[in-house]
Amino acid sequence: MAKTNKILIAEDDPFLIKVMGTILQDEGFAVDTARDGEEALKKITANGYKLVLLDLVMPKKNGFEVLEDMKAKKIKTPVLVFSNLSQDSDRKEAVSLGAKDYFVKSDMSIDEVAEAVKKYISK
């Protein structure tokens, strides 16, 4: 996989950033990170990411706000939501705002997330 496959991990948990980042780098992706919604939005706007892994509960701007801003700015970068919010209403809202898929952290392994990333980038 070419290093042009840049992914942004927007997540405020340093442990998850490290684990997901390492696994995705091992899969050949170039990984960038943002620890809050404002930083994520700045990076998404400025950089050509192939995919964004987005947590919904973050400081400064939450993931829903990031999705709303991306939609308003017509940013077409695919977003996979990776969150602890497991309500159906949260899933529906994220998808209605443009998320391509929605994963509940407690229901998935990091390897499954890596597989999902590969699936969406190969499309």
pTM over 0.85: yes
We report the CATH number of the domain holding residue 53 as 3.40.50.2300
94 in any annotated domain: yes
* 49 is a domain residue: yes
For residue 37, being part of any structural domain is answered with yes
Is residue 38 in a domain?
Answer: yes
**Domain of residue 40, residue span:** 6-121
Q: How many domains does the chain have?
A: 1
Confidence of residue 97 (pLDDT cuts 50, 70, 90): very high
Distance CA 64, CA 33 (A): 18
Within-domain flag for 1: no
Domain assignment present for residue 78? The answer is yes
Q: What digits encode the pLDDT tens for the residues 51-86?
A: 999 999 999 999 999 999 999 999 999 999 988 888
In angstroms, the CA 119 to CA 123 distance is 7
pLDDT at residue number 11: 95
Q: Mapping DSSP to helix (H, G, I), strand (E, B) and coil, where does residue 107 land?
A: helix
- Position 106 in a domain: yes
